[in-house]
Amino acid sequence: MSEDCCVLNKDALIVKPPKKSPLVLRMVVLSVVMICGVYICSICLKQIGTQPSPRLMTELVEKPCYDPRIPESESLYVHYPEPISYSRDECACTPVRLFVIVSMQRSGSGWFETLLNSHINVSSHGEVFSNKERRSNISSITSTLEKLYNLDWNSSASKNECTAAVGLKWMLNQGLTMHHKEIVEYFNRRGVSVIVLFRRNLLRRLVSILANSHDRDAKQLNGTHKAHVHSKDEADVLARYKPSINATELIPSLNHMDRGSADALEYFKSTRHMLLYYEDLISNHTKLMDVQEFLKLPQRKLASRHVKIHTKPLAEQVENWDTIYNTLKGTQYERFLAADYRL
């Protein structure tokens, strides 16, 4: 009995923990899993929200003034300059084409440039490289071009309207031939369109050169030299002078001019370019429409105040015409003796 009593007392001292319900445990585990899931999902959503979508990424990479109407093939020639000297404001997204008029003195380039500048959206800044310092080396040349093409060049050609094309007039003997390799590379890299303007009748060009050289010394217009005039009266005064041409040097001079034109065409054949002749501009006004199309400009009627100086047949403009006629007769330059356009 005593042993049984002891056994009973030992059993009474052992306290067993109550059994937990399986349902409660499952609910606790499920709650923990749900909380973790919600936390992980929130983190993922935040990460997705901070990353731009592929479409947004494309828009960020594209130019701020991207115009879908401009073909991809022309993108190199479309620019959105950001001038340092002023803000383009509402014109900021007006695309700008860069161009250069490549020519030789007394080939009609001055008249042609005034025609271009009569377009409300064009600024052509003249013979920028007539200044020798600007063409002293290729570094000076490119820095000048960068300033001009960034619309930071100020001249009478600068426009208040939105500029759609900006350029200059550049003579072959103004550093262009000397540095032609580097300049062509620059034109191709920057997307500069080249307008090559020559004169077919080199004899007429020679007469114009000699007459202009004479007036530089004689200053026939009230003691002032004028390379271009704006009235018929002034043109008549300058046209009175009839130069005498050195017959011995004539053919070598024409050969030199011919080679200069051919070399220039070879230099710039890798650029985006168009070739114009002064005679065609005079006789065919649709050529000006071609130029505007080449520069992707809205078509406008172009005008110039320049008045042509030498309008008479060559026989009436050269002092020793008979000698010159006989010198060129039967040569490759005989064609220059005939009239090449109508005024």
Q: Is residue 82 part of a domain?
A: yes
Instruction: Assess if residue 26 is contained within a domain.
Output: no
Min mean pLDDT across 7-21, 72-86, 219-233 is at 7-21
Tell me: pLDDT of 270 over 50. yes
Mean per-residue pLDDT, 187-209: 97
Q: How far is CA 229 from the centre of its chain?
A: 29
Domain count for the chain? 1
Q: Give domain status of residue 171, yes or no.
A: yes
Distance CA 204, CA 202 (A): 5
pLDDT of residue 46: 59
Which percentage of the chain shows pLDDT scores above 90?
75
Q: pLDDT value at position 47?
A: 58
On whether residue 123 sits in a domain, the answer given is: yes
pLDDT at 170 over 70: yes
Q: Are strands 97-103 and 192-198 parallel, antiparallel or unpaired?
A: parallel
Sign, CA torsion 325/327/332/336: negative
Residue 342 pLDDT class (50, 70, 90 cuts): low
Query: pLDDT-derived band of residue 341, with 50, 70 and 90 as boundaries?
Result: low
Supply the pLDDT for residue 285. 82
Percentage of the chain lying above the pLDDT 70 cut: 81
Domain encompassing residue 104: 72-337
Residue 329 has pLDDT above 70, yes or no: yes
57 located within any domain: no
In sequence order, what DSSP letters do the residues of 50-73 get, joined into one string? HSPPHHHHHHHHS-TT--TTS-GG
**Domain presence at residue 157:** yes
Average pLDDT in the chain: 88
pLDDT at residue 65 is higher than 90: no
Q: Is residue 206 in some structural domain?
A: yes
Residue 23 included in any domain:
no
Instruction: Please tell me the pTM assigned to this model.
Output: 0.80
- Ranking 72-76, 177-181, 301-305, 325-329 by mean pLDDT, the lowest is 72-76
CATH code assigned at 170: 3.40.50
pLDDT at 338: 86
DSSP 307: B
**What is the per-residue pLDDT across 131-141, written as a single tens digit (0 to 9) for each?**
999 999 999 99
The pLDDT score that the predictor gives to residue 19 is 52
Choose the weakest-confidence range: 16-20, 102-106, 222-226: 16-20
